[in-house]
Amino acid sequence: MRRVAEVLRLRFDHRLSQREIAHSLGLAVGSVNGYLGRFAASGLPWPLPPDVDDLVLEARLFTDERPSVTSVRPQPDWPTVRQELARKGVTLQLLWREYKLTHPGGYQYTQFCQLYRAWAATLEPVLRQPYVAGERVFVDYAGLTMPVLDLSTGEERDAQIFVAALGLSHLLYVEATWSQTLADWITAHVHMLAYYGGLPALIVPDNASALVRQPCFYEPTLNPSYRDLATHYGTAILPTRVRKPRDKAKVETAVQIVEREILAPLRHTVFTSLSELNAALGEGRERVNDRPFQKLAGSRRSVFETTERVALRPLPAAPYELATWRTAKVNIDYHIAVEGHLYSVPHTLVGATLDVRLTATMLEVLRGGTRVATHVRSVQKGRATTDPTHRPKAHQRHLDWSPSRLIRWGESVGPSTAHVVQTILERQPHPEQGYRACLGLLSLKRRYEGARLEAACTRALATGAISYRSVKSMLATGLDHLPLDETLSAPSPPTRLPLTHDHIRGADYYRHALAQPSLFLPELSDAD
């Protein structure tokens, strides 16, 4: 900075010569002479008036009276240039070419860029990151909370304030939730995207533990449910660096605006429900979004409607439904256990560890990102939900049969066959113990005609030989061809012929023995 005031003080107060002043201040004699000449030409008195400081003095002495080039050349509309730069594919070089077409005598490209950057620097004292329309939305929770009174208990509960802001238009979204858990984060995101009516390319949160499992500059690990939301909407998640608030300066500024212009005016209002609080926040949000900018033309709403809304991609047909993720290992019975309920998966996955996606109504099982099973979610503990197609073929054939189905098959052959099937099933402690015998009867129908099987079952009922082996034997020996009455009549006993033999006593011997026992008993001696 020039030492004009010191030169004037030494000259007029201490009466030093120009050479002495130059030696004292380390200046050239010509510089001292020039300062004194300019002061004499300015018409200012000495001592200087109180309102003339060093900056004013320098401006009065060194103002160039010649017209500046800037005052002659037409000035570009810098706010319009800034707005156009937000469009994809638009560069300063393209805007400069359009400017030169309208004003051939205007600035050259280098000076055009310098003047724009100098103008943009006056908007904020820090680096302004250029944002493309529809590219990013920044999300965060405010530091302040809002109390909600519970009329039934008289207790107050603090509600958390979710804040979002689009990168270009800075259109705000505000919502109160009970907590900052994953469920509230996801719900707020769904409502935010519905409010904007479209999808940005990127969602930029901080490294909240509910959203980011493992912060990392290069590869942050997202919560599976948060990643699932991004997949559903076809957008991407880009967490900021740890402890780098300027990475999401938009939402940091939005949080300040919300705290000062929406929450602070509501500090004396008593809210008795979360919906009542959200209604008040919605009114404040619309007021801020419609308020004109201080340094730019328009408002957040007008910039969004004219520039950013058309750049957002359309929303999917259905909003995202909150899902939680787990892992489960497939048991030997090709079922996984989730919250005490069993769900089947293809039997070929026995022993594998699979990803499980749970919504309020459905359960999806995935392997390597590919869905392998879907079930309706059940809250019945200890029960099983089984898709028959997940069973091995042998299990499917076995479980395809039931007592009622086996009896119906017997009826298709004839009443006697149905009666035999039913009797076999009823004889067992559990009906399934009779399945094999009934399936054996079924196999007989593939080798013998149905009429023969029915006849054999009729004979089995008449003789009481109700079993698979008996029916099979009747068919094999052809008993089913014989008339039932002839084969079932009792045969007459054979004629007994008198038997004579020296060693056979006969019946008469025993009759005489009973009449005179002393004749047949041996005499006993005294020794006996």
- Read off the pLDDT of residues 424-449 as tens digits, 9 standing for 90 and up: 888 877 666 677 788 888 888 888 98
Helices (H), 27-108: 29-42, 54-62, 69-72, 78-85, 92-102
**Higher per-residue confidence, 500 vs 196:** 196
CATH of the domain at 239: 3.30.420.10
Domain boundary residue, one of 278, 311, 344: 311
Enclosing H/E stretch for 408: helix 403-413
Q: What is the pLDDT of residue 492?
A: 41
Range of lowest pLDDT (31-35, 187-191, 473-477)? 31-35
Count CB atoms within 10 A of the CB of residue 252: 16
Q: What is the pLDDT of residue 520?
A: 45
Residue 133 near residue 88, CB atoms below 8 Å: yes
Q: Do the domain assignments include residue 243?
A: yes
Could you give the CA distance from residue 411 to residue 432 in angstroms, rounded to a whole number? 19
Residue 103 near residue 119, CB atoms below 8 Å: no
Same domain, 110 and 30: no
Q: Given a cut of 60, is residue 523 above it in pLDDT?
A: no
Range of lowest pLDDT (53-57, 212-216, 276-280, 397-401)? 397-401
Residues 6+ apart with CB under 8 A from 54: 1, 4, 5
**Which residue has 């999806």 as its token pair?**
364
Q: Do the domain assignments include residue 210?
A: yes
Model pTM above 0.85: no
Alpha carbons within 13 angstroms on the beta-carbon side of residue 12 total 14
Could you give the CA distance from residue 442 to residue 301 in angstroms, rounded to a whole number? 77
Domain boundary residue, one of 311, 333, 359: 311
Q: What is the pLDDT of residue 315?
A: 93
Structural domain that includes position 375: 324-391
Same domain, 286 and 379: no
Q: Do the domain assignments include residue 259?
A: yes
Q: Given a cut of 50, is residue 494 above it in pLDDT?
A: no
Residues 6+ apart with CB under 8 A from 214: 220, 221
Same domain, 185 and 333: no
Same domain, 303 and 347: no
Same domain, 413 and 469: yes
Among candidate residues 503, 401, 494, 485, the one with its CA nearest the CA of residue 443: 401
* Confidence category of residue 485, pLDDT binned at 50, 70, 90: low
Q: What is the pLDDT of residues 262-290, one digit of tens each?
A: 998 898 899 999 999 999 999 999 999 99
Is beta strand 341-344 parallel, antiparallel or unpaired with respect to 384-385?
Answer: parallel
Burial 343-368 (b: 16+ CB within 10 A, else e): bbbbbebeeeebbbbbeeeebbbebe
Q: Do the domain assignments include residue 265?
A: yes
Same domain, 377 and 268: no
From residue 393, how far is each of 230, 352, 404, 439 by CA, in Å? 39, 20, 21, 17
End-to-end CA distance of the chain: 162
Same domain, 232 and 346: no
Provide the β-strand partners of residue 236: 202
Which residue pairs from 1-5 have beta carbons closer than 8 angstroms and sit at least 24 positions apart in sequence? 1/54, 1/58, 2/35, 2/58, 2/62, 3/27, 4/35, 4/39, 4/54, 4/57, 4/58, 4/61, 5/48, 5/54, 5/57
Number of domains in the chain: 5
Same domain, 155 and 227: yes
Q: Do the domain assignments include residue 480?
A: yes
Instruction: State the average pLDDT over residues 229-234.
Output: 88
Same domain, 25 and 58: yes
Q: Do the domain assignments include residue 514?
A: no
Q: Do the domain assignments include residue 198?
A: yes
Residue 512 near residue 519, CB atoms below 8 Å: yes
Please give the structure tokens belonging to residue 411.
Answer: 């009826």
Please give the structure tokens belonging to residue 466.
Answer: 């109700």
Q: What is the pLDDT of residue 24?
A: 77
Residue 198 near residue 171, CB atoms below 8 Å: no
Three-class DSSP category at 63: coil
Q: What is the pLDDT of residue 528?
A: 42
Same domain, 299 and 258: yes
Q: What mean pLDDT value characterizes the chain?
A: 81
Please give the structure tokens belonging to residue 87.
Answer: 């469009």
Same domain, 219 and 342: no
Q: What percent of the chain has pLDDT over 70?
A: 82
Domain boundary residue, one of 484, 499, 514: 484
Q: Do the domain assignments include residue 252?
A: yes
Same domain, 347 and 421: no
